């Protein structure tokens, strides 16, 4: 579906006419990310991050396929082949650093994308399905990133794998058999490494598939926008191409500058030096931490220290999974009819002074050793996190009095006195 | 083609009074057979992920305890994980027995955790029950924690001389694996 004023694809020569008749792929692209897709005219740079995430997915697949040509998923040689890539393979160091930092940047842009979705309530009707698919993509990303970090078979790889698969061991009765089944042994070893490699290769293509569904679901209602007011007329939109291909292209350039600065000048800044020591099952690194993008969730995992009916460890596991799974219910927890945080005074306060500081505290605590004051801070932050989504958000949406919304996107952009801005011609040039 | 099937279905299917058609039997039989076949396909797909025969074959370990002096411990490998075998001194046994079992997070006496006739041999996994790190205290000169047993540096769990959790986040005592004395000086673990 699209707006009735969407431009129609016109094949310009014999070849494109032939294609359009047999397999209308150019038409699909034209309608998806070309001039055939009308988009609100007021999108800010926060709307760049979906395209950026797509870019990093492609980058990860390309660099990953290249690395797989030189890597061997065998516990005897995995660490050595990683070093082989770094030292012997032509441009191997660049491919590996591009892949490792690409993962970090993939998470950075996806976190910005989620942040945008939370502040502008992009998850609300009629866009619930886009949000739900997005959460699925995020879960798949986490699984893929975790398994990828195991592959170099360094100390952090090994102990990260042990701690994370150990989480399943916390499940009563069936936990330990499940853990042994997942690992194919009693501790991470060749069997685990091999299956992690297999799945790490597979899952990005699954992600790509869900991304296609995500974009398909997006094109049914069309993009949301910073006012949260739905598109009413043609003057509210501009064609995706050239307007947003240009804007996304500019954003991509800025992000690539930061990305390549990391790849070339600080390639190991986001990694951990212990991972350049080969995996040793008999010696634990002093301080086991996951990759930075898991820190908030790791903090929630470790926040539970007291047994209450269930063992503390199991509560931690439940809370960690629940902290993400509750996003699936977000479209129905936040019932306010107003989408954008710009018009929701109460929501805005709890968002900036509640949720955002909480996420920062969880992030810091997850990367810190499990000692005071970090334990107590992560407990308070975990409590607020769940309170925010499960209690505060539903209450806000029923008691809040939203600020007046603009009549339309055009009015929000050009002011109500359209004549003064546009002269006699009230229809803006598209 | 569509026409012939339509005619066939209207002419050949005999309807009885209770609405059950003869073809329903075929449907149920076909779906049932496919379902059973599906299970036969899924079972090997799931089972292949379980530990393979060579991993299982390496799942028992023999340790000679004769050379361990009192107060000394050795690290062995059992199922690719560290195993601590320690010969306790009299003082360590006394310290372990002096603790009231009821006051412990995971109440177990030293008797529960050692074998008849070999009360001085403490066999535990070298795997912290919190998040799986390897505790310190087995090797010479390592920190033994506040209770003189083992100490996990990851999140600060203290184990006493019987390997019981006394302080810190770990939920249970260091696991005592299944083992037996095959002779006076040799244990077989697993």
DSSP at A353? I
Closest-CA distance, A62 to chain B, in angstroms, reads: 28
Interatomic CA distance for residues A218 and A266, integer angstroms:
36
Interatomic CA distance for residues A76 and A269, integer angstroms:
27
Contact A181 B134 (CB under 8 A): no
Query: Which residue from A minimizes the CA distance to B167?
Result: A305
Q: How far is CA A209 from the centre of its chain?
A: 15
What is the token pair recorded at B161?
A: 């001389």
Q: What is the DSSP string of chain B?
A: -HHHHHHHHHHHPPB-TTS-BHHHHHHHHHHHHHHHHHHHHHHHHHHTTSPPHHHHHTT-EEEE-TTPPTT-EEEEEETTEEEEEEEPPHHHHHHHHHS-GGGSSS---HHHHSBTTBTTEEEEESS-TTT-PPPB-SSTT---TTTEEEEETTTTEEEETTS-EEESS--SPPP---EEESSSSEEEE-
Pick from A377, A380, A381: which is nearest to A359 by CA? A381
Which of B55, B82, B154 has its CB closest to that of A191?
Answer: B55
| Helices A92-119 + A240-265 axis angle, to 10 | 130
Reported as a single tens digit per residue, the pLDDT across B89-132 is 888 888 888 888 888 888 888 888 888 888 888 999 998 888 78
Contact B154 A187 (CB under 8 A): no
Mutation test of the interface with chain A: which of B48, B59, B130, B132, choosing the one with the most A Cβ atoms within 10 A? B132
pLDDT over threshold 90, residue B70: no
On whether the CB atoms of residues A233 and A40 are closer than 8 A, the answer is no
In a domain, A151, yes or no: yes
Interatomic CA distance for residues A300 and A324, integer angstroms:
11
Interatomic CA distance for residues B119 and A91, integer angstroms:
60
pLDDT (0 to 100) of residue A419: 54
What is the token pair recorded at A7?
A: 């431009």
Interatomic CA distance for residues A395 and A276, integer angstroms:
49
On whether the CB atoms of residues A367 and A295 are closer than 8 A, the answer is yes
| Helix (H/G/I), strand (E/B), else coil: A408 | coil
- A2, A20, A176, A219: the catalytic one is A219
Contact A185 B153 (CB under 8 A): no
Pick from A100, A16, A408, A414: which is nearest to A225 by CA? A408
Q: Are residues A239 and A296 in the same domain?
A: no
Percent of chain B with pLDDT over 70: 92
- Segments in chain A below pLDDT 50: 424, 429-430
Contact A186 B132 (CB under 8 A): no
- A104, A121, A223, A340: the catalytic one is A223
Which residues from chain B sit within 8 angstroms of residue A187, using beta carbons?
79-81
On whether the CB atoms of residues A99 and A67 are closer than 8 A, the answer is yes
On whether the CB atoms of residues A46 and A40 are closer than 8 A, the answer is no
Interatomic CA distance for residues B170 and B20, integer angstroms:
62
> Could you count the other beta carbons within 10 Å of the beta carbon of residue B140?
7
In a domain, A359, yes or no: yes
Contact B154 A286 (CB under 8 A): yes
ipTM value greater than 0.85: no
Reported as a single tens digit per residue, the pLDDT across B157-181 is 889 888 899 888 788 899 898 888 8
What is the token pair recorded at A324?
A: 């993400």
Reported as a single tens digit per residue, the pLDDT across B10-29 is 555 555 677 888 889 999 99
pLDDT (0 to 100) of residue A416: 65
Residue A235 annotated as catalytic: no
Interatomic CA distance for residues A47 and A225, integer angstroms:
8
Q: Are residues A179 and A223 in the same domain?
A: yes
Mean of pLDDT over chain A: 92
**What are residue A331's DSSP bridge partners?**
none
Q: Are residues A245 and A371 in the same domain?
A: no
In a domain, A161, yes or no: yes
Which residues from chain A sit within 8 angstroms of residue B50, using beta carbons?
180-181, 184
Strands B165-167 and B73-78: unpaired
Q: Are residues A101 and A206 in the same domain?
A: yes
In a domain, A138, yes or no: yes
Side-by-side strand order, sheet with B148-152: B148-152, B157-160, B165-167
Dihedral sign from CA coordinates of B86, B87, B91, B95: positive
Interatomic CA distance for residues B3 and B8, integer angstroms:
9
Interatomic CA distance for residues A226 and A43, integer angstroms:
6
Q: Are residues A100 and A238 in the same domain?
A: yes
Which of A159, A186, A371 has its CB closest to that of B81?
Answer: A186
Contact B81 A187 (CB under 8 A): yes
Which residues from chain B sit within 8 angstroms of residue A162, using beta carbons?
132
In a domain, A367, yes or no: yes
**Residues whose CB falls within 8 Å of the CB of residue A302, separated by 6 or more in sequence, listed in order:** A316, A365, A366, A370, A375, A378, B155
**Residues whose CB falls within 8 Å of the CB of residue A186, separated by 6 or more in sequence, listed in order:** A180, B51, B55, B59, B79, B80, B81
A121 φ/ψ sector (left φ>0, alpha ψ -120 to 50, else beta): left
Looking at the annotation, which residues of B are catalytic? 155
The size of the A-B interface in CB pairs under 8 A is 70
On whether the CB atoms of residues A217 and A1 are closer than 8 A, the answer is no
Which of A312, A369, A371 has its CB closest to that of B171?
Answer: A312
Q: Are residues A263 and A215 in the same domain?
A: yes
Q: Are residues A184 and A312 in the same domain?
A: no
pTM above 0.90, yes or no: no
Query: Which residue from B minimizes the CA distance to A181?
Result: B50
Which of B82, B134, B171 has its CB closest to that of A311?
Answer: B171
**Residues whose CB falls within 8 Å of the CB of residue B37, separated by 6 or more in sequence, listed in order:** none
In a domain, A11, yes or no: no
Query: Domain residues for A222?
Result: 35-268
Interatomic CA distance for residues A52 and A101, integer angstroms:
14
Reported as a single tens digit per residue, the pLDDT across A10-36 is 999 999 999 999 999 999 999 999 999
> Could you count the other beta carbons within 10 Å of the beta carbon of residue B112?
12
What is the token pair recorded at B118?
A: 């070999």
Which of A186, A189, A288 has its CB closest to that of B154?
Answer: A288
Q: Are residues A327 and A264 in the same domain?
A: no
Residue A128 annotated as catalytic: no
Mutation test of the interface with chain B: which of A163, A181, A182, A281, choosing the one with the most B Cβ atoms within 10 A? A281
Dihedral sign from CA coordinates of A179, A181, A185, A188: negative
Nearest 10 degrees: Cα torsion A276, A278, A280, A285: 0
Q: Are residues A368 and A258 in the same domain?
A: no
Query: Number of structural domains, chain A?
Result: 2
Q: What is the DSSP string of A2-66?
A: --TTPPPP---SHHHHHHHHH--HHHHHHHHHSTTSEEETT--GGGGHHHHHHHHHHHHHHHHHH
Contact B51 A307 (CB under 8 A): no
Contact B51 A282 (CB under 8 A): no
pLDDT (0 to 100) of residue A17: 95
In a domain, A375, yes or no: yes
Dihedral sign from CA coordinates of A156, A157, A159, A163: positive
Q: Are residues A132 and A40 in the same domain?
A: yes
CATH assignment at residue A226: 1.20.810.10
In a domain, A169, yes or no: yes
Q: How many CA atoms lie within 13 A of B119 on its CB side?
A: 13
Query: Which residue from B minimizes the CA distance to A185?
Result: B51
In the listed set A237, A268, A299, which residue is the last one of a domain according to the structure? A268
Q: Are residues A78 and A224 in the same domain?
A: yes
**Helices marked H in A169-189 — which ranges?**
175-183
Which residues from chain B sit within 8 angstroms of residue A280, using beta carbons?
none
Which of B75, B79, B126 has its CB closest to that of A186?
Answer: B79
Q: Are residues A178 and A94 in the same domain?
A: yes
> Could you count the other beta carbons within 10 Å of the beta carbon of residue B8?
10
Interatomic CA distance for residues A282 and B136, integer angstroms:
11
In the listed set A239, A268, A297, which residue is the last one of a domain according to the structure? A268
Peptide bond into A126 cis (omega under 30): yes
């Amino acid at each position: 579906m699209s707006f009735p004023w969407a431009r129609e694809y016109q094949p310009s020569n014999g070849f494109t006419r032939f294609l359009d008749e047999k397999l209308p792929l150019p038409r699909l692209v034209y309608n998806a990310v070309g001039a055939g897709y009308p988009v609100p005219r007021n999108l800010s740079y926060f709307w760049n991050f979906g395209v950026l995430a797509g870019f990093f997915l492609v980058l990860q697949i390309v660099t990953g396929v290249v690395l797989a040509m030189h890597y061997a998923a065998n516990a005897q040689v995995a660490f050595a082949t990683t070093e082989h890539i770094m030292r012997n393979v032509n441009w191997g160091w660049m491919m590996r650093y591009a892949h490792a930092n690409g993962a970090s940047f993939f998470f950075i842009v996806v976190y910005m994308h989620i942040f945008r979705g939370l502040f502008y309530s992009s998850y609300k009707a009629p866009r619930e399905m886009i949000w739900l698919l997005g959460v699925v993509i995020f879960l798949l990303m986490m699984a893929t990133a975790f398994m990828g970090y195991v592959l170099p078979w360094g100390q952090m790889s090994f102990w990260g794998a042990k701690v994370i698969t150990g989480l399943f061991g916390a499940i009563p009765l069936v936990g330990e058999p499940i853990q042994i089944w997942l690992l194919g042994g009693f501790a991470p070893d060749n069997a685990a490494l091999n299956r992690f490699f297999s799945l790490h290769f597979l899952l990005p293509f699954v992600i790509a598939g869900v991304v296609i569904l995500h974009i398909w679901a997006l094109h049914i209602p069309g993009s949301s926008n910073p006012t949260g007011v739905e598109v009413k007329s043609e003057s509210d939109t501009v064609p995706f191409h050239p307007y947003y291909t240009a804007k996304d292209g500019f954003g991509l350039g800025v992000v690539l500058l930061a990305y390549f600065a990391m790849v070339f000048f600080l390639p190991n800044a986001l990694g951990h030096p212990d991972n350049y020591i080969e995996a040793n099952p008999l010696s634990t690194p002093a301080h086991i931490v996951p990759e930075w993008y898991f820190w908030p969730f790791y903090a929630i995992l470790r926040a539970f220290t007291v047994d209450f009916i269930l063992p503390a460890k199991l509560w931690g596991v439940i809370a960690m999974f629940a902290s993400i799974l509750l996003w699936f219910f977000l479209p129905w927890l936040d019932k306010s009819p107003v989408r954008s945080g710009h018009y929701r005074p109460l929501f805005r306060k709890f968002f900036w002074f509640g949720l955002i500081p909480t996420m920062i505290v969880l992030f810091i605590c997850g990367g810190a050793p499990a000692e005071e004051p970090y334990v107590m801070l992560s407990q308070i932050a975990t409590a607020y996190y769940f309170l925010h989504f499960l209690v505060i958000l539903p209450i806000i949406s029923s008691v809040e009095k939203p600020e007046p919304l603009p009549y339309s996107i055009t009015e929000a952009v050009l002011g109500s006195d359209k004549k003064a801005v546009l002269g006699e011609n009230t229809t803006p040039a598209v | 083609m569509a026409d012939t099937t339509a005619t066939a279905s209207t002419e050949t299917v005999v309807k009885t009074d209770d609405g059950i058609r003869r073809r329903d039997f075929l449907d149920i039989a076909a779906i049932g057979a496919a379902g059973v076949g599906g299970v036969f396909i899924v079972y090997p797909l799931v089972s292949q992920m379980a530990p393979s025969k060579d991993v299982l074959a390496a799942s028992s370990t023999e340790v000679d305890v004769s050379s361990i002096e009192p107060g000394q411990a050795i690290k062995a490998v059992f199922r690719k994980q560290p195993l601590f075998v320690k010969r306790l001194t009299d003082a360590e046994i006394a310290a372990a027995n002096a603790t009231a079992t009821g006051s412990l997070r995971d109440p177990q006496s030293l008797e529960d955790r050692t074998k008849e006739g070999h009360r001085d041999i403490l066999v535990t996994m070298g795997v912290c029950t919190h998040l799986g790190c390897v505790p310190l205290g087995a090797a010479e000169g390592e920190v033994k924690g506040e209770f003189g047993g083992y100490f996990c540096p990851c999140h600060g769990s203290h184990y006493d001389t019987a390997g019981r959790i006394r302080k810190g986040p770990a939920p249970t005592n260091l696991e005592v694996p299944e083992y037996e004395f095959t002779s006076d000086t040799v244990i077989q673990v697993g």
